[in-house]
Amino acid sequence: MKKTIITFGEIMLRLATPGYLRLGQSDCLTATFGGSEANVAVSLANYGLATEFVTRLPPNDLAQACVNDLRRYGVGTQHILYGGERMGIYFLETGAVARASKVVYDRTHSSMADIRPGMIDWERVLHNARWFHWTGITPALSQGAADACREAIDAANRMGITVSTDLNYRKNLWQYGAKAAAVMPALVAGCDIILANEEDAEMVFGIKPEGFNVERTAGHIAPAAFESVCRQLMARFPRARKVIITLRGSVSASRNTWAGVLFDGQTLFCSPSYDITHIVDRVGGGDAFMGGLIYGLLAFPDDDGRALRFAVAASCLKHTIYGDYNRVTVAEVEKLMAGDASGRVSR
């Protein structure tokens, strides 16, 4: 049996306005499914890796439709826990040019938000696993979700399983009384791989590069400026073997530059920067990066630079795909890595 990658978090019903309509403007919404950890699982399954997604869903037809959707992409669902009354929802309107995209959450008292420690037998779930992935979104949902996440990380540490996290700070989710700065350190301390974007480390841990303002990038971010962020994160969390930062330069809602850096404690690897001139859907872009990174670190264990380049290219392609999931193959990512960004018809 193949060693499995386990991801843990909430998957939601995604209700999006068509095209670029505003939420108060549209009389219909497009329904799909998505959520950070599920998005990572779909990417990895697309790349041919054995993947299991763990969550808690209500026992109803909507949840079953979601599970069927995950199975369609090859994601394992055998460890999903059923209980609670409702599935989380998020509403999305896609921005354009100077108008930013907007997300409205409806996740209070969802099945996943109401999870409690002890509900999941992590020793059984992690049996035969080689990797466990979680994000900062899960502990933001509730104290119970944070405690369940801590249980999983502790079990993975005991079992010698690689643990990765995407800090994924969402200010609108931390509403149950706890602060990210109080909850996250104990969880991140158990991680071998830490991913953050340009501002996550500052928002959660107060760690930032000198003179950087995420709202005034004008499409350009100097990668070397983030080496100090990586070093500070490693100093604070000694277990971490690698720290990775995604670098998004925002020209407008429709056009971003996209790159990343990876620091292994000695060397700072910098990726090429892609100019994404027409964004179809940027939601899930960071998750596509994480999925590409996990694949790259497993496929190219002695080449961190290549793993980073794979992650950035995979995420670049995600910006051209509607929906949360990155529906691309290894061959498509490697084609872009090789420099073919022509978009010519393949036939």
Q: What is the CATH number of the domain that holds 38?
A: 3.40.1190.20
Asked, for residue 341, whether it belongs to a domain, the answer is: no
Contacts of 167 (CB under 8 A, 6+ apart): 135, 136, 184, 188, 194, 195, 196, 197, 200, 201, 204
Q: Which domain holds residue 229?
A: 4-336
- Helix orientation angle between 330-337 and 304-318, rounded to the nearest 10 degrees: 110
**3-class secondary structure, 156:** helix
171 exposed, middle or buried (CB, 10 Å; 0-12, 13-18, 19+)?
Answer: exposed
Residue 123 to residue 234: CA distance in whole angstroms: 28
* pTM of the shown model: 0.95
Asked, for residue 343, whether it belongs to a domain, the answer is: no
Asked, for residue 156, whether it belongs to a domain, the answer is: yes
Asked, for residue 185, whether it belongs to a domain, the answer is: yes
Per-residue confidence (pLDDT) for residue 215, from 0 to 100: 62
Asked, for residue 151, whether it belongs to a domain, the answer is: yes
**3-class secondary structure, 233:** helix
Per-residue confidence (pLDDT) for residue 218, from 0 to 100: 60
Number of C-alpha atoms within 13 angstroms, CB side, residue 4?
A: 22
Number of domains into which the chain is organized: 1
Asked, for residue 291, whether it belongs to a domain, the answer is: yes
* pLDDT, one tens digit for every residue, the chain (347 residues): 468 999 999 999 999 999 999 999 999 999 999 999 999 999 999 999 999 999 999 999 999 999 999 999 999 999 999 999 999 999 999 999 999 999 999 999 999 999 999 999 999 999 999 999 999 999 999 999 999 999 999 999 999 999 999 999 999 999 999 999 999 999 999 999 999 988 899 999 999 887 666 566 666 677 878 999 999 999 999 999 999 999 998 899 999 999 999 999 999 999 999 999 999 999 999 999 999 999 999 999 999 999 999 999 999 999 999 999 999 999 999 999 999 876 776 76
Per-residue confidence (pLDDT) for residue 221, from 0 to 100: 72
Look at the alpha carbons of 326, 4, 183, 192 in this order and tell me if their dihedral is positive or negative.
negative
Q: What are phi and psi for residue 76, nearest 5 degrees? A: -75, 140
Per-residue confidence (pLDDT) for residue 214, from 0 to 100: 58
Asked, for residue 345, whether it belongs to a domain, the answer is: no
**3-class secondary structure, 6:** strand
Per-residue confidence (pLDDT) for residue 209, from 0 to 100: 83
